Each structure stands twice: as C-alpha cells, then as structure tokens.
Structure 1
Amino acid sequence: MKKPNVDEYLQEGIYGSRQTKPGERKRYLGTLRERVILVLTKGQVMQEVGIEELSQEMKQHKDAQLLLNGEVSYRFRKPYRQLADQHSIHHTEVSNQESETDIGAILYVDYAIEKENIHVETKEEPKEENEESSGVKGFLKSLFKNSN
C-alpha cells in the first residue's frame, strides 16, 4: 500500500476523499450505476409514470433505498415518497446544484447487482397528423390546395 504524500493529504482535507466514478455518481444522484434497480426521468416523475414498476421492485428488494431529485417539485415527489413509506423503504431527496441530470428518481441497493435494463420505457402516443400536414409546409399546401 502506498503511503500518502503531503499534497494528497492536503487535497483530501480541502476537497474531501476521492470518489470512484465521479461522473457516474453525478448522473445517478450520488450512487453508482451497478447498484441501480430502477431509474425514472424527471419527466416520468412529473407524469407519475413507473409507479407500478417501482412498487413491484420495492416488493422484491426490501433492502432498497429511494433517491428523489430535489429539483423536481414536492407535489410530483409526494406519491413516490408515499409509496416508499408503504413498503418501508428509506427515501432521500438529493439536491446538488453543481451537477445537471435528467434523472428524477432512483431505486438502488448498497451492493452491486448489475441489472441490465434499469429504465422504465414510456409509451409514446402515435401522432395524428404527419409532418407534411403540420407546420408551415402543411399550411402552405392547404392554402394552395384550397385556392384551386
């Protein structure tokens, strides 16, 4: 084991201990990807998408914890907090002004599980109009079509 030199000791005293994978920790609200069970984006949290999937995972993983992004309004986080309370899952709100992430909620454990599919897929509604009939091109086409 290498003996720390004075510079490393001072850096650790000023900035705190070094973390593994800091970019990954910023993205996943302070935890590592290998520990994540389920991820919801901010948009999914605001639309209350993924509550059923989250509930199922909470039933399977009693030792899990829930991280909620503090940038999302309280009223959108509330159903997820209530769900965590129902399943006796510890929940924490994370507000980090230094990092930008699109993640709204994460269910994770304290050990590596390496789950491959952690994202909740949202179903997109089919568009009723195609691109040609919308926008400026669609307006001009309809204008010239009606003038003939």
Structure 2
Amino acid sequence: MENLDQKVLQASSGEHRFDPDQQRRFLGTFEERVILAITLEDARLEVVRNQLADILNQIIKIHENPHVKLSSNLPNSLQMNYMKLANQINLNVTVIREDKSLSPYGVIIHSDKPVDIINPDIRSQFPNLFEEPKPSSSEQTEKKSLWKKIFG
C-alpha cells in the first residue's frame, strides 16, 4: 500500500521530467536525441550561416525527420535567417524561449528518437568549417634571427 501512496503523491506534485537540467541545456531536448549542436557564438558566424543548408541536407540523408530548435537569445535577424533556411528544406522549426535557464546553444538539430551521437558539437562534427586557411609558401618564409644574419 505504501508504494501506491508514493505514486499518488508523485502524480499530484505535477509533471515529472527525467533530467530537467539536460533538457534546459539542449533547448528542451534530451542529449541522446541531439544530432547537431551549434553554440550561440558559432551560430553568429558567417561560415556557419553559409554552410548550414549543406549540413542540413547531409543530416536529412542520414537521419529521418530531424527538427530544428532555435534559442530566443539569438538576434531576431538570425532567427529569421535560420527559420527560412529550415523551411526551404521542409524541416520543422521551433524557437525556444529561455526565461530562467541559459543554454550555451543557439541551434539544436534533433531527432524524435535516440541517436546517441557522442559529441554533437558542430566543431567536432565539421572541423573543416573552422580551419584557418594555410598561408602560401611565400608567406611561410622563416625569419632569420639576428645571429643567423650576422654569422650566416
């Protein structure tokens, strides 16, 4: 009988979330469902805005029916940009308003079932986006030290 009383008390106390801190961090989504996570800083970068359509097309080929969540902490112009992009690819988009919790992420792309991606951060999944261009061979010339200039 004690077990039944405990269940009644839990049900009357309101909604039960399995891991509310994890859900706040990933804009209301469980971590095991996150396909790609883009931080607020990275979401503001031009390279991410320009390449996100290609990235989303790659994700669609691998994962069935992904969803896009945007943080309300992104500027409105960026929110609109990302919403238009997702709508062109026929993806569902939701803007998550964050009043009490601050997520480090600006864009979360997730599935409705677990995908268990170990590191969903865009910098780990697409490191080539953030590589600095290598200087040409003429720029790589080594500066000679004072001693080498004097003594050859």
Q: TM-score, normalised by structure 2?
A: 0.70
Q: What is the DSSP-based 3-state SS (H/G/I as helix, E as strand, rest coil) of the residue aligned with 1:39?
A: strand
Indicate which of 103, 111, 114 corresponds to 2:113: 111
1:10 and 1:112 map into 2 onto residues whose CA distance is 29
Q: Deviations over 1:14-42 (max 9, x none)?
A: xxx11011111010000001001111111
Name the residue aligned to 2:96.
94
1:102 and 1:124 map into 2 onto residues whose CA distance is 22
Closer, same or farther in 2 for the Cα pair 1:80/1:58, shift >3 Å? farther
Name the residue aligned to 2:79.
77
Closer, same or farther in 2 for the Cα pair 1:10/1:115, shift >3 Å? same
Name the residue aligned to 1:41.
39
Closer, same or farther in 2 for the Cα pair 1:100/1:4, shift >3 Å? farther
- Gaps spanning 5+ residues in structure 2: where? 124-128, 134-152
Name the residue aligned to 2:19.
21
Q: What is the DSSP-based 3-state SS (H/G/I as helix, E as strand, rest coil) of the residue aligned with 1:38?
A: strand
CA contact (8 A) 1:45 1:77 kept: no
CA contact (8 A) 2:64 2:111 kept: no
CA contact (8 A) 1:67 1:91 kept: yes
**Which is further off, 44-53 or 107-116?**
44-53
1:80 and 1:4 map into 2 onto residues whose CA distance is 48
2:103 and 2:119 map into 1 onto residues whose CA distance is 19
Number of residue equivalences: 121
| CA displacement at 1:97 relative to structure 2 | 0.7
2:64 and 2:89 map into 1 onto residues whose CA distance is 8
Closer, same or farther in 2 for the Cα pair 1:117/1:7, shift >3 Å? closer
| CA displacement at 1:115 relative to structure 2 | 1.3
- Root-mean-square deviation (Å): 2.1
1:63 and 1:28 map into 2 onto residues whose CA distance is 18
Letter in 2 for 1:3: L
Q: What is the DSSP-based 3-state SS (H/G/I as helix, E as strand, rest coil) of the residue aligned with 2:122?
A: coil
Identity of aligned residues (%): 26
Name the residue aligned to 1:3.
4
The 4+ residue runs of structure 1 with deviation greater than 4 A are: none
